Amino acid sequence: MANPVIKNKNRIWLILNICLIIILLSLSVYYFPALLQRYDLEKGCVVSFIDVGQGDSAVIQIKGGTNILIDGGELFYPGTQKNSFKRTLKKWLKKNKVREFDLVIATHPHSDHIGGLTEILKNYPVTTVIDHGYLHESFLYKDLLNTVKNKRIHVIKPVAGQELKISEDAKLLFLSPAKENVFDDLNENSLVTKFIYKNISFLFTADVGYDAERWMIKNLEDYLKSDVLKVGHHGSSTSSSALFIKAVSPKLSVISCGRNNPHNHPEVQVLDVLENENTKVFRTDLHGTVTVFTDGEDVTVKTEK
């Protein structure tokens, strides 16, 4: 007959082991992606298109520790008091241990782009803000400008054709808007930024539409070709003309939009244009956060879903 004390000890030992395995498994699920991302970062740079719902936000992490943020998504889920920033971008930054930014780019003053940016400027060390420079009378945008002023953050207001060197291997090129070409529409005046890392380039078109696309084709066509494209205006049919997509001819395209969004983004017309150009399409509404790694020669993609 088994000794009841030994039997109990065995049972406690078994329970402790099961608990330990559960803890280790949950820790690995949480930390493994971050470790993997760090490993990739050692070899080049990682560009993450964050799933912020209906909005835009991308984080560029460059070998050596430079971090760039382009837009910050909404602060609140539209029509609610639920904090979208906390549940999306802030959570991602914490998980990936991104704690400060060398550059923060505000493409244009709509809430789905700058909503979360003021929270970033208030709560994270930021060296420089790159602003489109066109005044807009919204509370959010004024709050952003006041935060920049109060925190004495350095501001750059670039124009089309200007270049900003980040490191030996990385630079930013601004492709729109031009000083002499201001549009009536805020979306059209979005800051278009090309990020170049060695031989690989990423084009961030924010919410520009046909007018700005036409201007870029006419004036800066040679600079449009890019390996990765952040598709304009969440896949709206007011952007991504066939001519523009042809000029960019991206290998990969990322559409940043919310699941079941009320605007029906991305629109079928845009998906058709992208398909005709044979670019592989990733969508944050379907794939979650889309992460593109490059060593400066090739690109690989990882998706959250």
Q: Can you give the binding site for Zn ion, defined by CB under 5 A?
A: 112, 207
Least Å distance between CB 71 and Zn ion? 8
Between residues 112 and 211, which has the closer beta carbon with respect to Zn ion? 112
Least Å distance between CB 111 and Zn ion? 9
Q: Determine the Cα–Cα distance for residues 230 and 20; give it in Å rounded to an integer.
A: 43
Q: Considering all CA atoms of the chain, what is the largest pairwise distance in Å, rounded to the nearest integer?
A: 94
Between residues 44 and 53, which has the closer beta carbon with respect to Zn ion? 53
Between residues 188 and 207, which has the closer beta carbon with respect to Zn ion? 207
Q: Cβ distance 247 to 225 under 8 Å?
A: yes
Least Å distance between CB 46 and Zn ion? 23
45-49 and 290-294 beta bridge pairing: antiparallel
Least Å distance between CB 125 and Zn ion? 27
| HEC per residue, 235-295 | HCCCCCCHHHHHHHCCCEEEECCCCCCCCCCCCHHHHHHHHHCCCEEEEHHHHCCEEEEEC
Q: Determine the Cα–Cα distance for residues 303 and 48; give it in Å rounded to an integer.
A: 9
Least Å distance between CB 113 and Zn ion? 5
Q: Which token pair is 68?
A: 């760039």
Least Å distance between CB 290 and Zn ion? 17
Least Å distance between CB 56 and Zn ion? 6
Between residues 63 and 230, which has the closer beta carbon with respect to Zn ion? 230
Length reported for the chain:
305
Distance of CA 211 to the CA centre of its chain: 24
Q: Which token pair is 17?
A: 């082991």
Between residues 40 and 51, which has the closer beta carbon with respect to Zn ion? 51
The order of strands in the sheet holding 126-131 is 154-156, 126-131, 101-106, 66-70, 58-62, 45-49, 290-294, 299-303
Between residues 131 and 207, which has the closer beta carbon with respect to Zn ion? 207
**Helix, strand, coil proportions of the chain in percent (round to 5)?**
35, 25, 40
Between residues 112 and 267, which has the closer beta carbon with respect to Zn ion? 112
Within 8 A by CB and 6+ apart from 32, the residues are none
Q: Determine the Cα–Cα distance for residues 232 and 205; give it in Å rounded to an integer.
A: 5
Between residues 40 and 119, which has the closer beta carbon with respect to Zn ion? 119
